[in-house]
């Protein structure tokens, strides 16, 4: 299969749509193979631009989908990919749960808070009655010891899950996917705010705002204290870097990255 990866500011993002992403994930799930996946928006891309070690992690994930209209625009402008839609973490999760329910693929939900996971399990089960939720485990909101990490791995394996959804927030969830990818024989999907959204703790932006690339404005209005820097600083910075890459005034080399020297083991 030809590579779908394209260089956006030194971060390798896959020029795929929902169908292409789901096909790869389901194929790996049914084969019992690891596949590390992240839905990356502007904030996620910029974490890799700013940190060479994290850039290495992102560029060694198997599938990085363009979550966010600006990232889709960048793929189209830089590489002429012709993508007609982005691939958001919440919608990707929803569509995968529908396929998993139809095919009998068990899932595991890792991260967030117990009350979010409880609501998420209830709502997913109501939407997809045949969905097998093999297990859930909330975040400890701290780094895990090697023994604790292996305990997480063993619990997910023992559950029989074939897809692991991770909701730890960016960039912790991408670090988690990178570090657990070699030891978990399931696709690992870092899906951002999908847990809170599907659990009913965070509302979806109106479709008109999503289609216009203004979902960030909706989220900023909902969570100004937490997200103001992410959107009011990083969005213009992303556009500035994108202009430099478009005009060839700066070269962004995906290989210009630093191998992480230690595991962070977020949990």
**Residue 217 pLDDT exceeds 90:** no
pLDDT in tens, 99-135: 999 999 999 999 999 999 999 999 999 999 999 999 9
Say if residues 135 and 109 touch (Cβ distance below 8 Å).
yes
What pLDDT does residue 203 have? 63
pLDDT in tens, 232-248: 778 889 999 999 999 99
199 lies in a domain?
Answer: yes
What's the CA gap between 35 and 63, in Å, rounded?
Answer: 8
Q: pTM value?
A: 0.91
174 lies in a domain?
Answer: yes
**Residue 9 pLDDT exceeds 80:** yes
**Residue 1 pLDDT exceeds 60:** no
What pLDDT does residue 182 have? 87
What pLDDT does residue 224 have? 67
10 lies in a domain?
Answer: no
231 lies in a domain?
Answer: yes
Average pLDDT of the chain to the nearest whole number: 92
**Residue 88 pLDDT exceeds 70:** yes
Q: Which domain holds residue 79?
A: 16-246
Percent of the residues in the chain that have a pLDDT greater than 90, as a whole number = 80
- With helix as H, strand as E and coil as C, how does the chain read? CCCCEEEECCEEEECCCHHHHHHHHHHHHHHCCCEEEEEECHHHHHHHHHCHHHHHHHHCCCEEEECCHHHHHHHHHHHCCCCCCCCCHHHHHHHHHHHHHHHCCCEEEEECCHHHHHHHHHHHHHHCCCCCEEEEECCCCCECCHHHHHHHHHHHHHHCCCEEEEECCCCHHHHHHHHHCCCCCCEEEECCCHHHHHHCCCCCCCHHHHHCCCHHHHHHHHCHHHHHHHHHCHHHHHHHHHHHHHCCCCCCCCCCCCCCCCCCCEC
* 72-86, 184-198, 221-235: segment of lowest average pLDDT: 221-235
256 lies in a domain?
Answer: no
**Residue 200 pLDDT exceeds 80:** yes
What pLDDT does residue 103 have? 98
What pLDDT does residue 262 have? 85
Of residues 182 and 227, which shows the higher confidence score? 182
Radius of gyration for the chain, computed over Cα atoms and rounded to the nearest angstrom? 18
3 lies in a domain?
Answer: no
Q: How many CA atoms lie within 13 A of 5 on its CB side?
A: 15
Q: What angle do CA 64, 66, 68 make, to 5 degrees?
A: 140
**Residue 191 pLDDT exceeds 70:** yes
Structure confidence at residue 267 as a pLDDT band (50, 70, 90) = confident
What pLDDT does residue 48 have? 97
Task: Output the six-digit token pair for 93.
Answer: 């999760």
Q: Over range 25-36, report the average pLDDT.
A: 98
93 lies in a domain?
Answer: yes
Structure confidence at residue 230 as a pLDDT band (50, 70, 90) = low
Count: domains in the chain: 1
What's the CA gap between 173 and 155, in Å, rounded?
Answer: 18
4 lies in a domain?
Answer: no
């Amino acid at each position: 299969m030809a590579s779908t990866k394209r260089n956006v500011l030194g971060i390798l993002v896959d020029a795929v749509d929902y169908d292409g992403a789901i096909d790869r994930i389901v194929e790996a799930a049914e084969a019992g193979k690891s596949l590390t996946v992240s839905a990356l928006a502007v904030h996620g891309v910029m974490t890799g631009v700013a940190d060479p070690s994290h850039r290495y992690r992102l560029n060694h994930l198997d599938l990085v989908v363009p979550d966010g209209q600006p990232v889709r625009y960048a793929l189209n402008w830089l590489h002429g990919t012709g993508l007609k839609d982005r691939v958001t973490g919440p919608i990707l999760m929803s569509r995968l749960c529908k396929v998993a329910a139809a095919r009998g693929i068990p899932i595991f939900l890792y991260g967030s808070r117990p009350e979010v996971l409880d609501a998420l399990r209830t709502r997913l089960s109501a939407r997809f009655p045949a969905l097998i939720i093999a297990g859930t485990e909330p975040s400890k909101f701290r780094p895990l010891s090697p023994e604790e990490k292996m305990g997480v791995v063993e619990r997910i394996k023992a559950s029989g899950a074939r897809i692991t959804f991770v909701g730890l927030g960016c960039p912790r969830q991408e670090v988690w996917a990178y570090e657990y990818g070699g030891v978990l024989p399931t696709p690992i999907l870092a899906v951002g705010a999908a847990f809170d959204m599907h659990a009913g703790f965070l509302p979806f932006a109106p479709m008109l705002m999503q289609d216009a690339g203004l979902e960030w404005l909706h989220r900023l209005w909902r969570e100004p204290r937490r997200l103001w820097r992410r959107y009011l600083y990083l969005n213009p910075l992303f556009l500035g870097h994108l202009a430099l890459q478009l005009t060839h005034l700066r070269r962004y080399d995906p290989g210009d990255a630093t191998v992480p020297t230690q595991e962070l083991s977020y949990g």
